[in-house]
Amino acid sequence: MKLIILDRDGVINHDSAQFIKNPGEWQPIAGSLEAIARLNQAGYRVVVATNQSGVGRGLFDMPTLNAIHAKMHKACAQVGAHIEAVFFCPHTSEHHCHCRKPKLGMFEEVAFRYGTHLAGVPVVGDSLRDLQPAAEMGAQPYLVLTGKGEKTRDTGGLPDGTQIYPDLASVVAALLGD
């Protein structure tokens, strides 16, 4: 089974320091949905693992988060792309939960749900907290320079072996040997 784990904000869609609080604010990064379609066509199962502390902060509720994800799924479908599952943490850092990245909970859940180890599985993120649990689980971290990616790269401290690309489309091109 070919599996890939993507962060959402800053990888698939444009990020916002004020959070993506409603479907109208969710806007795909150019080429990201087509990149997901290419992954699907190459036999990859695409899943998303995303911190969504806006729920825990009271900035939006679960029906709104579901509506944001419905818009993402619909936009994907319009270009022949499919995201198989969205794993999310609704908690703030003050909750000290096990599911919030950089902790391992979401990645452990992905491994459990798909009955696999994550060794070598590509994980694409724009922040250190996306990449740290990937590396800890033996996955292959990819940093994209969209979203918070440039700042993350410039700050340093990336896990060993992190590969850096301009955007998701570039990661996919490299994975597929283009």
> In the chain, where are the structural domains located?
2-175
For 3, 31, 115, the CA distances from 119, given in Å and listed in that order, are 11, 27, 12
List 9, 126, 130, 167, catalytic entry: 9
Q: pLDDT at residue 72 above 90?
A: yes
**CATH match of 2-175 with 3.40.50.1000:** yes
Residue 58 burial (CB count, 10 A): 8
Give catalytic status of residue 160 as yes or no: no
List 7, 126, 130, 167, catalytic entry: 7
What is the per-residue pLDDT across 6-33, written as a single tens digit (0 to 9) for each?
A: 999 999 999 998 999 999 999 999 999 9
What is the per-residue pLDDT across 163-172, written as a single tens digit (0 to 9) for each?
A: 999 999 999 9
Give catalytic status of residue 7 as yes or no: yes
Question: Chain-wide mean pLDDT for the chain?
Answer: 96
Percent of the chain with pLDDT over 70: 100
Where is 5: in which H helix or E strand?
strand 2-6
Q: pLDDT at residue 112 above 90?
A: yes
